[in-house]
């Protein structure tokens, strides 16, 4: 009986890491695939094309992570996927920043146009005043 228990424990101790590794591989695969999907989503969001380089890096790193996963270097994969996550977060914020910058540019351009319109209106007002004085002089 003791021998069986020992055998069982031995077999269990041998099989649990294997099972755990299989679960981690799947988990990493899911993370990598999520990262790729995220990269695609971010590319679609990048209307200003402000993060092309960063996205390239992200995809390269995801490929690298996939490669490391295939080599069952799960710790290294974790390092790379963590970096990919940070890179994705950064890209998202950078896209937001670029959109805000574009919005700011647009607003500032709008201000410039409005100021130009204001200047034209002021000039028109001055011209109208002069015209009024002239007309008053005539009448």
Partner 1 sequence: MSNLRTGSLVMIKMTRGLSILPVAAVLLLAQGCALKPKPSELEALEKLRATPSGAAAAKRAPALVKNSDELLKRAQDEWHSSNLDESVDAALMGQAKLKHAIALADQDASKARVAKAEDDLDDVKEQQEKVKKDLDDMNEKVALLKKLNEKQAALVAETAQAEEERRNLSEQMEKDRKLAADKAETADKIGAAELALKTADTVQASTYASAKYGAAAESLARAQAEAKQEDFRGAQMSADIAKKTADEAAAIAQPIHAEKSKADENRARADTLTREASTIAGVEVRRDARGALQRIVLSIQADQLFTKKQTVITPGRDALLEPIANLMKKKEYLNYPVQIIGFADPRGNSSSLLPLTLARAQSVATGLMSRGVDSKRVMATGQGGSEPLAGGKDRNRNNRIEIIFMYQ
Contact positions vs partner 1 (CB under 8 A): 54, 79-80, 82-83, 86-87, 89-90, 93-94, 96-97, 100-101, 103-104, 107-108, 110-111, 114-115, 117-118, 121-122, 124-125, 128-129, 131-132, 135-136, 138-139
CB of 15 to partner 1, least distance (A): 26
Q: Give the C-alpha separation, 137 to 14, whole Å.
A: 109
- In the bound state with partner 1, the residue whose beta carbon lies nearer, of 9 and 128, is 128
CB of 75 to partner 1, least distance (A): 11
- Range 131-137, long-range pairs (CB < 8 A, 24+ positions): none
Cα angle for residues 53, 57, 59 (degrees, 5° grid): 115
The pair of structure tokens assigned to 52 is 């092309």
The pair of structure tokens assigned to 11 is 């077999």
CB of 115 to partner 1, least distance (A): 6
CB of 90 to partner 1, least distance (A): 4
The set of residues, in sequence order, having a beta carbon less than 8 Å from that of 97 and lying 6+ positions away, is 50
- In the bound state with partner 1, the residue whose beta carbon lies nearer, of 26 and 105, is 105
């Amino acid at each position: 009986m003791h021998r069986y228990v020992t055998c069982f424990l031995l077999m269990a101790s041998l099989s649990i890491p294997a099972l755990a590794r299989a679960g981690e591989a799947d988990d990493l695969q899911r993370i990598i695939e999520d990262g790729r999907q995220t990269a695609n989503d971010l590319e679609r969001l990048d209307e200003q094309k402000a993060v092309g380089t960063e996205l390239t890096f992200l995809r390269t790193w995801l490929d690298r992570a996939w490669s490391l996963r295939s080599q069952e270097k799960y710790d290294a994969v974790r390092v790379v996927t963590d970096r990919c996550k940070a890179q994705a977060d950064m890209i998202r914020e950078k896209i937001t920043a670029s959109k805000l910058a574009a919005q700011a540019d647009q607003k500032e351009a709008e201000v410039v146009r409005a100021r130009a319109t204001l200047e034209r209106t002021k000039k028109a007002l001055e011209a109208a005043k002069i015209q009024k004085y002239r007309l008053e002089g005539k009448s």
